Amino acid sequence: MKIPEIDLYLIAPEIILAAFGFLVLLLDVFLPNKGRKSYLGMVTLIGIVLAFLYTLPQIGLVKSGFAGMYISDGFALFFKITFLIIAFLTVLISMGYTQREGIAFGEYYALILFATLGMMLMASGSHLITIFLGLETMSISIYVLVGLMREDKRSVEAALKYFLLGAFATGFLLYGIALIYGATGSLYLKDIATYIASKSLLRNPMLLMSLVFLTIGFGFKIASVPFHMWTPDVYEGAPTSITAFMATGVKAAGFSALIRVFFSALPAFRPDWTSIMWVICVATMTLGNIAAISQTNIKRMLAYSSIAHAGYILVAFVAGNDLGTSGILFYLMAYAFMNLGAFTCVILLGKKGEENTLITDYAGIGFKYPLLAVSMTIFLLSMAGIPPLSGFMAKFYVFSAAVKEKFYWLAILGVLNSAVSVYYYLRVTVLMYFRESEREITGLQFSPASVIALILAVIGTLYMGIFPANVLSFAQRSIAGLM
Amino acid sequence: MAENVATIFQWLIFLGMAFISVLASFLVITRKNPIHSALFLVLTFLCVAGLYILLYSQFIAIIQVVVYAGAIVMLIVFVIMLLDLEVELKAKLKFVYSKVIGGFLAILFLFGIFYAVVAKSPTGKVGSYTPEKVTANVKAVGEVLFTQYLLPFQVIGILLSAAIIGAVILTKKRT
């Protein structure tokens, strides 16, 4: 019996997140009722910052542990930092929102921490079981978080829809993993790649089927067409803070696992998956953008826009070169800031029992709430890809990666789609500044934590747009050794 | 002499288990009352678990009892109780199509198994079982679970707590 080396420093961030998850649960029970709700968010934030501090020193090191189940390399660390930023901002915007909607339980924060832990495991798993368990930990926490507003019919409906479809997608993913094990006899990503290369299994039907199943399983999590049907309903029904968490965190985690599995375990099948992904990518961009135009609810519009953004990121995935992969990393971090920021604005414009999520509700708020309107404008323009904001740089890297690999049509379709998207993003901005409001929106309460989150998101969006080189070079260093 | 007795005993157990499992699975599909069907399904699973033990695969036998006879049948019974089956029972077996397709698939599956067992003669490790080999079965799973798969094993703990927390928060009465 061989005991594998147990390096707890390697998984220190995960341990901290798990420990704080249980701590928050216990505090909710044992602390006196008065004012405890705001403590819980603070404790969660401390946990996330601690996990962040334990992640930073690992940058630059490549270390594998737990009998090769877990790897901490640049790729994993970049994603971990992204997830922790997303979790931090989500908790900040949750602190006011959960109190307003009456869902400020310890369980809420604990599940956010567990979901973040699952995402981190997805990014740093080097064995398909670790990746699968990370995905399930994340998914189960999110299913529950979506349905947390039990009194709201839409929330319950969203949770049920997401759970049933998600369980189905998980089944596909697991079937794909089982087929890979059947064909290669291993679940270690590196061993799978070497076995396929040594035995030349390129036309093996089991592996080709598993490729399809893995595409379905991950495609569901990143909300790509045709596995996107759940997205608008779930994003609309879920608590808005959780919608933001899903649109940024779950999507980023899905991409991290997709890239890790396809690039390090199945690089031999690149021609096969390129042709599948090309179609999925174009369909995702086009459908997302066209459906977003006709939406009247801002949460649904942002849901379709997030589908479109998954399509843009897939452009770089199809290109598959170094610029493309680092572009994906850059894109996901930039998208985290701008999307979380946009959802923060959506939250701030609502109040208990009156969500104000219709797009026409935004008419005339430009002069009434100038700070809110300016930030919303920044986020929307960034998503549309207007320079000098981060969304422009992200799209620039993604499309130039495609051009570099001679996927000209893909780049052209991407740019055309991006032009279409300007319409619905600008529509909200125009409403905010050039229309009189039809009805008064009064009595909004801006919780200080949400305002801090808003400011951080604005800073992030501007910084990554004006000084993209810092983050991009970090992303480029991170993907060294991935392929 | 003693060996002969053991062999005969094994044969008797095998025949008993095999007979009961076939009979029970036949009853599963012929009973009108779905709860009776579910209970006969448990009997089938238990007999198959006995067959696994005769094949020296205790681990699979235990999993068969815990997962199939325990968890999955529990789920089936829950679903049966939640649905109103009275209406279904009254509308007496209208679905002839589903029967034809189901029967066709069953026959196809049967031929598949025959083909795999007879024509392909499955390969595996040859040799008689020794006590060491027999105990190694469960021991190997346990060892791998706590050494190579240590991290995933711990992660399952987090996963299950998240699921339980979720079940409680979604169903309990809020104060």
Tell me whether residue B112 is in a domain.
Answer: no
Tell me whether residue B121 is in a domain.
Answer: no
| A60, burial (CB in 10 Å: exposed 0-12, middle 13-18, buried 19+) | exposed
What ipTM was assigned to the predicted interfaces of this complex?
Answer: 0.90
Tell me whether residue B75 is in a domain.
Answer: yes
User: What's the rounded Cα separation, in Å, for the pair A194 and A123?
Assistant: 21
User: What's the rounded Cα separation, in Å, for the pair A114 and A16?
Assistant: 11
Comparing CA positions, the residue from A230, A225, A217, A223 lying closest to residue A258 is A217
Tally Cβ neighbours within 10 Å of residue A145. Answer: 28
The last residue of one of the domains, among B63, B92, B121, is: B92
B59-88 tens-digit pLDDT: 889 999 999 888 898 888 888 888 766 666
Tell me whether residue B116 is in a domain.
Answer: no
B29-52 tens-digit pLDDT: 888 888 888 999 999 999 999 998
Across the interface, which of A111, A121, A148 has its CB nearest the CB of B155? A121
Residues B76 and B140 in one domain: no
Across the interface, which of B148, B158, B166 has its CB nearest the CB of A67? B148
DSSP state of B173: P
Residues B6 and B86 in one domain: yes
Q: What is the structure's pLDDT at A294?
A: 92
Tell me whether residue B142 is in a domain.
Answer: yes
Mean pLDDT of chain A: 91
Residue A110 Cα to chain centre, angstroms: 19
Q: Quick one: pLDDT band at residue A332, thresholds 50, 70, 90?
A: very high
Tell me whether residue B71 is in a domain.
Answer: yes
Across the interface, which of B147, B149, B170 has its CB nearest the CB of A3? B147
Taking an 8 Å cut-off on Cβ atoms, the answer to whether B158 and A110 are in contact is: no
Structure tokens at B86: 């009275």
N-term to C-term CA, chain A: 33
- In sequence order, the β-bridge partners of residue A70 are A65, A125
Q: Does A216 have pLDDT greater than 80?
A: yes
Taking an 8 Å cut-off on Cβ atoms, the answer to whether B152 and A18 are in contact is: no
Q: What is the structure's pLDDT at A60?
A: 83
**Residue A179 main-chain phi, psi, to 5 deg:** -65, -40
User: In chain A, what residues touch B143 (CB-CB under 8 Å)?
Assistant: 1
The last residue of one of the domains, among B71, B92, B113, is: B92
The last residue of one of the domains, among B34, B64, B92, is: B92
Domain range for B33 is: 2-92
CATH number at residue B84: 1.20.120.1200
Residues B155 and B87 in one domain: no
Comparing CA positions, the residue from A187, A482, A191 lying closest to residue A328 is A482
Q: Quick one: pLDDT band at residue A360, thresholds 50, 70, 90?
A: confident
Sequential DSSP letters for A181-195? HHHHS--BHHHHHHH
Taking an 8 Å cut-off on Cβ atoms, the answer to whether B149 and A129 are in contact is: yes
Q: What is the structure's pLDDT at A36?
A: 58
The H-or-E segment that residue A70 falls in is strand A70-72
Tell me whether residue B111 is in a domain.
Answer: no
User: What's the rounded Cα separation, in Å, for the pair A232 and A288?
Assistant: 10
Q: What is the structure's pLDDT at A48?
A: 96
Q: What is the structure's pLDDT at B122?
A: 61
Taking an 8 Å cut-off on Cβ atoms, the answer to whether A137 and B158 are in contact is: yes
| B57, burial (CB in 10 Å: exposed 0-12, middle 13-18, buried 19+) | middle
Tell me whether residue B148 is in a domain.
Answer: yes
Residues B6 and B69 in one domain: yes
Distance from CA of B172 to the nearest CA of A (A): 11
How many domains does one find in chain B? Answer: 2
b or e along A124-143 (b: 16 or more beta carbons within 10 Å of the residue's beta carbon)? bbbbbbbbbbbbbbbbbbbb
Q: What is the structure's pLDDT at A320?
A: 87
User: What's the rounded Cα separation, in Å, for the pair A8 and A325?
Assistant: 29
Across the interface, which of A1, A66, A141 has its CB nearest the CB of B162? A141
Q: Does A202 have pLDDT greater than 90?
A: no
A91-142 tens-digit pLDDT: 999 998 988 888 888 899 999 999 999 999 999 999 999 999 999 999 999 9
Chain A, window 9-68: residues with a beta carbon less than 8 angstroms from a chain B beta carbon:
11, 18, 21-22, 25, 66-67
Domain boundaries, chain A: 12-478
Distance from CA of A144 to the nearest CA of B (A): 5
Q: Where would I find the H helices in A228-269?
A: 230-237, 240-245, 251-260
